[in-house]
Amino acid sequence: MTLTHAQLAAMLDSTNLRLDATEADIEQLCREAALHRCACVMIYPASVALAARILAGTGMHIGTVIGFPSGRFSTEAKAAEITAAHRAGAHEVDIVMNYPALLAGHSAEVAAEVSALTHLAHRQGQLIKVIVETCFLDDARRLEALRICEDAGADFIKTSTGFGTAGAKVEHIAAWSKARRGAIRLKASGGIKTLADARALIDAGATRLGTSNASTLLAELSGAPVQSGAGGGY
């Protein structure tokens, strides 16, 4: 697939979920993302208000993570995070599915939570991506997670937090792309460090990529190396 700078940038969730990220790091991430016109910045909830101030008037979307990184939070706690993020200025929420509950066979409970949180986010005008942590799921569970997200009406299913044992795999994106029944979109995240990584995942069916290396990928596409230093966590 031939990609322009604008096309690739529009697929990138420029991310900093590094545990030691400073306000200066978040500001740099926001300014670089706005310069390149990335899909959004992806940051922790406590940084959303800061990002909203930095990005005011730019039209840039702000994304944040919910129930991160384990997913082992109550539905009520995740809902409160989504609402607080909305009030602070977040346009997109990436929620972590309670995949341990899925692994334990509690599919109905997991489905009910994803459905409730999707409806909440949509009522608030937020786009929702559901992280299922593919590295801990077998083929059958990955497809079950896809069905849950589709039935809930989620906008995206997403591979990874970046804090598991592995990140995005081309074969997992390809399997979802082949198996999906409708319009749900696919986000790959975790370990996307080179343009070749990005291209392979896009070719497999991903339309969003979560990466702490957005500026590096875009520089590689243009042939002009850039050292961003702002990313982290993905």
Kindly indicate the confidence band of residue 1, based on its pLDDT and cuts at 50, 70 and 90.
Answer: low
Q: Is 231 within a domain?
A: no
Q: Is 234 within a domain?
A: no
Q: Is 76 within a domain?
A: yes
Task: State the residue range of the domain holding 112.
Answer: 5-222
Domain count, the chain: 1
Task: Give the model's pLDDT for residue 149.
Answer: 98
Work out the average pLDDT over 191-214: 97
Angle, in degrees to the nearest 10, between helices 23-36 and 214-222: 40
Q: Can you give the CATH number for the domain in which 87 is found? A: 3.20.20.70
Work out the average pLDDT over 59-73: 98
Active site residues: 94, 158, 187
Work out the average pLDDT over 87-98: 98
Q: Is 49 within a domain?
A: yes
Peptide bond into 100 cis (omega under 30): no
Work out the average pLDDT over 50-78: 98
Mapped onto helix, strand or coil, the DSSP state of residue 14 is strand
Alpha carbon distance 85, 48 (integer Å): 7
How far is C-alpha 131 from the chain's CA centre?
A: 7
- The per-residue pLDDT of the chain, averaged, comes to 95
Q: Is the pLDDT of residue 136 over 70?
A: yes
Q: Is 163 within a domain?
A: yes
Work out the average pLDDT over 195-212: 98
Q: Is the pLDDT of residue 224 over 80?
A: no
Q: Is 227 within a domain?
A: no
User: Which secondary structure element, helix H or strand E, spans residue 93, and what is its range?
Assistant: strand 92-96
pLDDT tens-digit readout, 148-181: 999 999 999 999 999 999 999 999 999 999 999 9
Q: Is 207 within a domain?
A: yes
Kindly indicate the confidence band of residue 87, based on its pLDDT and cuts at 50, 70 and 90.
Answer: very high
Task: Give the model's pLDDT for residue 2.
Answer: 86
How far is C-alpha 108 from the chain's CA centre?
A: 24
Q: Is 31 within a domain?
A: yes
Work out the average pLDDT over 192-216: 97
Task: Give the model's pLDDT for residue 141.
Answer: 98
Kindly indicate the confidence band of residue 233, based on its pLDDT and cuts at 50, 70 and 90.
Answer: very low
- Contact (CB, 8 A) for 33 and 212: no
User: Which secondary structure element, helix H or strand E, spans residue 1, and what is its range?
Assistant: none
